[in-house]
Amino acid sequence: SQKIEQNSEALNIQEGKTATLTCNYTNYSPAYLQWYRQDPGRGPVFLLLIRENEKEKRKERLKVTFDTTLKQSLFHITASQPADSATYLCALDWENNDMRFGAGTRLTVKP
Amino acid sequence: NAGVTQTPKFQVLKTGQSMTLQCAQDMNHNSMYWYRQDPGMGLRLIYYSASEGTTDKGEVPNGYNVSRLNKREFSLRLESAAPSQTSVYFCASTDRAGGYTFGSGTRLTVV
């Protein structure tokens, strides 16, 4: 069956460092992949979308890569700040107008 | 403000009671979705509506029904609530060209 796995439940890093979050998937070939940010008690907020024919996409301090051979996406936050602390979700387009989400990685950036 | 509005924000039900969760979007999106979010399991799709007049089952539809009332509104109904339906419910919409816009969620407890 298809699975989406995000590398770890929690990631702690020091302010100013680059945070790297991983999203792996199996038994599927999505046409695109998305990343979301979710703060406690709030709904997810869309950050970036990357298509299968794109290797990399950037938005300000965010960078996403998509390796369809490895079936993996990496999400980077450069020059991280305490305000970046949140849970980050990856999501893959699924069949029939469906999107499937990973369980998320909780990022904490310490001052 | 443009976005997705969910009501109510909180609800406590007794086992066997019924209720309807309301969702409305003002972005003229065709597609709308209902997800539930449980700790460690990420977002799971309950039902979706690709366009006005259509609805389809997602990953976990049992115990739920939906109505796409018009292009703006998509409601989720629990006919006979069970403790296993204790969760946070999110409504989302998209025009399929970009990411999903989520509401702020309904926190439901079934006792």
What integer is the mean pLDDT of B22-50? 93
What integer is the mean pLDDT of A80-101? 88
Which one of A46, A96, A102 has the shortest CB-CB distance to B42? A102
Going by their DSSP bridges, the two strands B64-68 and B31-38 should be labelled as unpaired
Q: What phi and psi, each to the nearest 5 degrees, are found at residue A71?
A: 55, 55
Q: Do A46 and B101 lie within an 8 Å CB cutoff?
A: yes
Q: Residue A35 pLDDT > 70, yes or no?
A: yes
Q: Which amino acid is at B73?
A: E
Position A2 confidence tier, pLDDT thresholds 50, 70, 90: low
Cα B57 to Cα A74, A92, A106, B33, B50, distances in angstroms: 30, 18, 29, 10, 11
The reported pLDDT for the residue numbered A1 is 67
In this predicted model, what pLDDT tens digit does every residue of A60-81 receive, in sequence order? 999 999 999 999 999 999 999 9
B1 versus A93: which is more confidently predicted? A93
- Which residue of chain B comes nearest to A91, CA vs CA? B43
| DSSP, res A18 | P
The reported pLDDT for the residue numbered A96 is 64
Length of chain A: 111
Would an 8 Å CB–CB cutoff place B89 in contact with chain A?
A: no
Q: Residue B2 pLDDT > 90, yes or no?
A: no
Quote the mean pLDDT of chain A: 92
Which one of B40, B90, B100 has the shortest CB-CB distance to A103? B40
Would an 8 Å CB–CB cutoff place B38 in contact with chain A?
A: no
Quote the mean pLDDT of chain B: 94
Q: Residue A47 pLDDT > 80, yes or no?
A: yes
What integer is the mean pLDDT of A77-95? 93
Would an 8 Å CB–CB cutoff place B31 in contact with chain A?
A: yes
Position A94 confidence tier, pLDDT thresholds 50, 70, 90: confident
B25 versus A6: which is more confidently predicted? B25
The reported pLDDT for the residue numbered A97 is 66
Quickly list DSSP for A54-67. Answer: -SEEEETTEEEEEE
Length of chain B: 111
What integer is the mean pLDDT of B55-75? 95
Q: Which of B97, B106, B88, B89 is CA-nearest to residue B27?
A: B97
8 Å CB contact between A87 and A37? yes
The b/e string for A46-85 (b: 16+ C-beta within 10 A; e otherwise) is bbbbbeeeeeebeeeebbbbbeeeebbbbbbbeebeeebb
The reported pLDDT for the residue numbered B96 is 73
Q: Residue A53 pLDDT > 80, yes or no?
A: yes
8 Å CB contact between A45 and A38? yes
